[in-house]
């Protein structure tokens, strides 16, 4: 199965001013990702507001993205839902439109109480698209499901032939390293903490999924290039750039600020869906001022 090597952007779900999904923006997003040399997009996850979208909207976005991706820009569809039938339907649909892989978070309302319950859930989801690589999406800060990842992967790996790996959005280098080492490196670990990408590379991750790769991939590509030539000092400096960027985003909310930045780059992804709200004019001006001079974006901010 194909392994992701490089940056996968956790894509925003574009929306019109009235809050409806605006799939006409997807080709502009894809062009920006190609410009930044991203190797893939991860849609309808946390950054993509997947849990705020209907099943039909998520399928509409998967279809729109499938029409603009190729072997150079691959598509991972997040299919996680609290309702198992919806998750299975999204997985099956992703397979039918030509996605490269699927991923699924743990259900976050009626949460699994044991590793066995979690694995039973993801086996049912992944089984709806048995020909697609499946990545378990571990993000306990959102789901509040926090089992040892080695236990989850070991048990799921015995039952799921299409278990490719894990999207690891946890600040736990020891657990990440343990997962990378499992069964002779059987599982792919997609590093999920942008401001800690350097840690993931040092551990041996070759692929990463992140929201800031939508608009700031050049700084991370520079970081990767510096690591490849053994320039630890330069790579650390590049990582500090990313940390400063994330600190700015957190002042406004990463989703809200990210969508604003996309607009500044000429790819208007519209407002976030309620309960999130777009930046006010004053907030947008403050954000632009804080970002000015960072020199990490692929285009000039407008």
Q: Residue 215 class from Cβ within 10 Å (0-12 exposed, 13-18 middle, 19+ buried)?
A: buried
Q: How far is CA 244 from CA 21, 49, 190, 240, 300, in A?
A: 31, 24, 22, 6, 18
CA angle 38, 44, 45 (to 5 degrees): 80
Q: So what's the pLDDT on residue 243?
A: 96
What does the alpha-carbon distance between residue 262 and residue 268 come to, in Å, rounded to a whole number?
A: 6
Share of the chain above pLDDT 70, in %: 100
> Mean of the pLDDT values across residues 177-186?
96
Q: How far is CA 233 from the centre of its chain?
A: 27
- Across all residues in the chain, what is the average pLDDT? 96
Is residue 159 within 8 Å of residue 167, measured between CB atoms? no
Q: Which of 135, 136, 167, 259 is catalytic?
A: 167
The tens digit of pLDDT for each residue in 221-248 reads: 999 999 999 999 999 999 999 999 999 9
Q: Compute the average pLDDT of residues 215-221.
A: 96
- Reported as a single tens digit per residue, the pLDDT across 19-65 is 999 999 999 999 999 999 999 999 999 999 999 999 999 999 999 99
Predicted pLDDT at 228: 95
Per CATH, the architecture of 6-291 is what?
Answer: Alpha-Beta Barrel (3.20)
pLDDT at residue 147 above 90?
yes
Catalytic pick among 109, 135, 136, 137: 137
CA distance 71 to 138: 26
- d(C-alpha 243, C-alpha 223), whole Å: 12
Rounded CA gap, 12 and 219, in Å? 19
Dihedral in degrees, nearest 10, Cα atoms 114, 117, 122, 128: 180
Asked if 220 is an active-site residue, the reply is: no
| pLDDT digits 0-9 by tens, 293-302 | 888 898 888 8
Position 298 scores a pLDDT of 87
Task: Give me the residue spans of the domains in the chain.
Answer: 6-291
pLDDT value of residue 295: 85
What was the pLDDT predicted at 293? 82
d(CA 222, CA 235): 8
Q: Where does the pLDDT of residue 1 fall: very low under 50, low under 70, confident under 90, or very high at 90 and above?
A: low
High-pLDDT (> 90) share of the chain, %: 96
Q: pTM value?
A: 0.97
Q: Does the active-site annotation cover 109? A: no
Q: Give me the pLDDT at residue 300, please.
A: 86
* Pairwise CA distance, residues 279 & 205, whole Å: 34
């Amino acid at each position: 199965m194909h392994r992701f090597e490089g940056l996968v952007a956790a894509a925003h779900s574009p929306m019109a001013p009235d809050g409806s999904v605006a799939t006409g923006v997807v080709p502009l997003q894809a062009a920006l990702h190609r410009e930044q040399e991203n190797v893939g997009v991860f849609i309808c996850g946390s950054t993509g507001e997947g849990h705020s979208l209907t099943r039909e909207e998520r399928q509409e976005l998967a279809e729109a993205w499938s029409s603009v991706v190729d072997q150079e820009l691959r598509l991972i569809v997040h299919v996680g839902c609290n309702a198992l039938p919806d998750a299975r339907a999204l997985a099956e649909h992703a397979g039918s439109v030509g996605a490269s892989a699927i991923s699924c978070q743990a259900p976050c309302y009626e949460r699994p109480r044991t590793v066995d319950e979690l694995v039973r859930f993801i086996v049912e989801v992944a089984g709806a698209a048995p020909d697609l690589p499946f990545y378990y999406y571990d993000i306990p800060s959102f789901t509040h499901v926090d089992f040892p990842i080695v236990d989850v992967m070991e048990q799921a790996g015995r039952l799921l032939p299409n278990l490719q790996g894990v999207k690891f959005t946890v600040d736990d280098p020891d657990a990440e390293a343990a997962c990378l080492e499992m069964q002779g490196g059987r599982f792919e670990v997609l590093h999920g903490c942008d401001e800690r990408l350097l840690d993931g590379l040092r551990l041996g991750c070759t692929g990463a999924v992140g929201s800031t790769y939508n608009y700031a991939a050049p700084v991370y590509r520079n970081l990767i290039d510096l690591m490849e030539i053994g320039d630890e000092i330069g790579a650390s400096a590049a990582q500090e750039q990313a940390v400063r960027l994330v600190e700015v985003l957190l002042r406004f909310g990463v989703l809200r600020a990210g969508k604003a930045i996309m607009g500044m780059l000429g790819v208007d992804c519209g407002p976030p869906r309620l309960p999130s709200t777009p930046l006010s004019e004053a907030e947008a001006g403050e954000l632009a001022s804080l970002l000015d001079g960072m020199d990490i974006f692929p285009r000039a901010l407008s």
